[in-house]
Structure 1
Amino acid sequence: MSTVCVFLFLALTFSVHADPKVVYLYDVSSIEWLTIGVEGGGNIYLASGDDNQILKNIQLTTGSTSITLDQLNDDNDDGSAKFITATGSVTLQTSNNGTMTGKLSGYIYVTTYLQARDPTFSVYVLKTTQSISKMGMKSTVVVLNTVIRQELIDYDMPRIMSYVSSINHTRIQMYIFNRIFLLRTGMMLSIINFSKIQLYWIMDQRYSSIT
């Protein structure tokens, strides 16, 4: 049996180049462009439930490579997320207005160089039901959540949800990260049984908090 480490990244920000990074698209809203220092050779992913018509107006540039975010907002044939490799700092530039950009829920996730070169390390963007199968003694799977889109905010509904079931393993490690602007996010972890784990994001950190 393989050991699978599932990382659920809900809101995580790092400032050291040798660590993975998460940058939210709404952070570009007031400045129209944003440059991020990342580790060269890391892979750049997009996790977003936003409209591709809006994402196509946001350009990501690293080194001599430029791509619009709607092109990253897709999966490969095997279900893994599309990515490009960082060859320098990452710049995000948008032609969307500030109001539109401020409503975006997506984010950029950048791995480290070593993670990008690790054959046992993989990244998935969770949008629909996916089956993930890993062979070998050890695997690390990063699952990037996307926000459930709502026209009106309903605080009784989860903002982000991951549902992991039918786990066949000898041992599993699950790491849950928050952006630690301390206790501004709320989560509930409900372990139904040894083969089913539910994780609910209770409230969006930009609108409310749980104490």
Structure 2
Amino acid sequence: MATEKLDLLIDRPTESIPERVVRRVCQAIAEGLLPPGRRLTERELMELTGVSRTSIREAVRHLQTLGLVEASPSRGVRVSLLGRDEVRDIYEMREALESKAAELFTIRATDAEVAALVEKVKPAAPKEGRLKAIFEFDEMLLDGARNSLLKSSLGALHVRIHALRSLSVTVPGRKEQSFQEYLDLTAAIKGRQPERAAEASRRHVQAAAKAALEAVELMEHKS
């Protein structure tokens, strides 16, 4: 009788518990549920997430590395309060990298990838739907650009960019303007016009930077 092959392999989740915590906190910051300056203690994070203190501490260390939280004057940490100089630096890097990604995507993406990207730019009534579409748009743009170094550099920056979106959209009219900018960008991509796509991307980032800086300045006046 044939002996069955011994198999003791254990399935491992694609994300560790601390990584899941980081992802959920990043999402909450991007959605504006955790605004800049919001204090977070270990106890509160344990209660909100249902995970252990050890996992929370590891997640917080990673969030600090990403620049999303910082030490609080009191106990625990707080969602980072970004100044004008930091916001400007982030958007200057985003403008340079994202415009190049748009140009490369227009040149290198398949017709199916272009169609899928264009499909992401459409009105989505629920707030969650809009945010999810933006996150997926960014990922698809980087994948289709087919430049691993650009993807790793801009991918890391996107974490902070998503956090700033919750600020920039508070400026009146910014949501509608942003949607039109995405339409202009996807029209250039669909037409396979790389220079036009890069310019549309630059205009979008410049407008987003202006809105984010206005929001930060308003917050500084209130504090």
TM-score, with structure 2 as normaliser: 0.23
The structure that is helix-richer by fraction is: 2
Q: Which has the higher strand share?
A: 1
Larger Rg: 2
